Amino acid sequence: MPAPSSLPTKIGYSVGNLGKSVVWTSFENFMLFYLVSIAGLPPLAAGGLLAGAMVWDALFDFGIALWADAHGGRDRLGRLILLGVPLCAGGFWTVFALDGPGAIAAAVMVCRIGYSLCDVGHNTLLVRVARTPGDATTVSGLRLIFSAGGAALVALASGWTLSSSGAAARQDAFASGALVGALLYASTLIVARIATRHLAQPGGEASRAPIAPVARVRGLWRTPAVRQALLVVAVQAGMVPLFLRTLPFFGQAVHHDPSWAGPALATITLGQSLSLPGWMALARRWNPVAIARVGHGLALAAMLGLAIGSRGMKGTALLVLLGAALSAGNIAIWAMLTLAVQRSIAGGSPGEATPVGLFLGVLKGAAALGNLLAATIVWWTVAPDGGVIAVPALTACVSLVPVAGCALALWFLRDRCESATR
C-alpha cells in the first residue's frame, strides 16, 4: 500500500476548493436571481442560459478527461489548471461587470470553460492525494472545509449586495464582489497546483491504454461502486439543491426580503462547518455509503420542516440541520468516488481522469436540469417586476422537490458496494 500524502500536500490541494466554492456557490445560489432581477433577462432565458452553460460544462468535462487519459505526461492535470484559471476568473468577473444579454452569455460560457478545465485537473488530483482508503474521507473533508469557507464568503457578500438599493447599485456591488472572488479563485487554484506538482499518476504512465471512449464508459457503468456514485450524485446535484438555487426568491416570498438569502446561506454554511469534524471522525468507523444514508435522511427531515415553517429559532435550527446533512452527503459522495476509482485502477482499468470526468459530467448535467427546473418555477410564480405571485406554489416546489431527491438517493444507497467498505 502506498504511503499517505503529507499533511501540507493535503491542505495545499484542498485550499483550491475555497476559490472553486466561491464561483460554484455564486452560480448555484445567486446567478439566476442576478440575471432575472438585475440583468433583466426573462426567467426562462436566464434558466436556459445557465442550463446550456452547465450542459456544455458537463460535455467538456468528459471530453477533457478522455483527452487527459489519452495524451500528455505526468503534469497534464497541472497544465489543465493553469490553462483554466485565467479563463474562469476573468469570465466570472465580467459576467457582473458587463451589460447586455449577449455579452453576459459570452462571459458565462468563458467562465464555465475555464471552470471545466480546472475542475477536471483539480478533482482528478484527489485520486493522487488520497493515496490510501483511509485518506479518501479525510481529504474529502478537508476539501469541504475550504468549500464551506468559500460559501460563507459568498453568503457575507450577498447580504451586502442584495441589501443595496436600486439595480445599478446592486450591479456595482455584485461586480466588486466578483472581482474579489475571481482573485480568490486564481490564487487558491495556483496554490493547489504547486502543492501537488510532485505527485505521480497512480499505476504509472503504462496504465494508459488505447481503449475506445464507449468501452471505457461501459466498463465504468458496469462497476457497481461507480454506478452507485453516479446515480446518487445525479439526484444530489439535480434535485436536492433546488431550495438553495431559489433562496433569494424564497426569501422574497416568505420573508418579504430577498437579502434573507444571505443570512440563510451563512446559517447553512455554519451547519456544514460545525458538522464536518464530526463526519470526518465518524468516517473512521463508518463507510461512505452509511454516512451518505444518514446525510440524505437528515436533509429529507430538514426540508420537510422548512416546508412547514422557516421563521424564528425553529427555522434557524432547520437551516443548520440542512447544512450538516449536505455536509455528510458531499463528504460521502467524493469519498465513494475516490475509493471506486482507486479500486478500478488497482484492477487494471486504464485512466484516472475518465471516471472523474464522467462523474463531473453527470453532476453538471444534473445541475443543468436543476437550474432549468428552478427557472421554470420562477417563471411560473414570479411576476416580471420581481414580485412573487404564487407563494404557496413556490414554497411547495422548492421544499418538496429536494425531499423527493433525498428519498431517491436513499433508494440508490440501499446497497453497500464493495469499494465503500473499509
Whole-number pLDDT of residue 340: 81
Fold of 8-202+213-420: Growth Hormone; Chain: A; (1.20.1250)
Whole-number pLDDT of residue 18: 96
Contact 246, 373 (CB under 8 A): no
* Nine-digit cell string for 239: 434535485
Whole-number pLDDT of residue 75: 67
Nearest to 318 by CA among 245, 267, 362: 267
Inter-axis angle of helices 167-195 and 7-14, to 10 degrees? 150
Q: Residue 386, by phi and psi: left (phi above 0), alpha (psi -120 to 50) or beta?
A: left
Whole-number pLDDT of residue 101: 86
Which element (helix H / strand E) includes 135?
helix 133-162
Whole-number pLDDT of residue 207: 46
Whole-number pLDDT of residue 206: 43
Q: What is the pLDDT of residues 295-338, one digit of tens each?
A: 999 999 999 999 888 888 999 999 999 999 999 999 999 888 88
Mean pLDDT per block of 10 residues along the chain (422 residues) reads 81 95 91 87 89 88 80 70 94 92 91 91 86 78 91 87 77 90 96 87 52 75 88 95 91 86 92 91 89 96 92 94 95 88 67 82 92 89 69 88 96 74 48
Give dist(CA 166, CA 174) in Å, integer.
12
HEC letters along 272-305: HHHHHHHHHHHCCCCCHHHHHHHHHHHHHHHHHH
**In a 10 Å sphere around its CB, with 0-12 CB exposed, 13-18 middle and 19+ buried, how is residue 101 labelled?**
middle
Nearest to 199 by CA among 78, 294, 293: 78
Instruction: Give the predicted TM-score (pTM) of the model.
Output: 0.81
* Nine-digit cell string for 368: 443543468
Helix, strand, coil percent content, the chain, rounded in steps of 5: 80, 0, 20
Give dist(CA 91, CA 257) in Å, integer.
29
**In a 10 Å sphere around its CB, with 0-12 CB exposed, 13-18 middle and 19+ buried, how is residue 134 labelled?**
middle
Nearest to 173 by CA among 101, 107, 262, 252: 262
Q: What is the pLDDT of residues 33-92, one digit of tens each?
A: 889 888 888 888 998 999 998 888 888 888 888 877 776 555 677 888 999 999 999 999
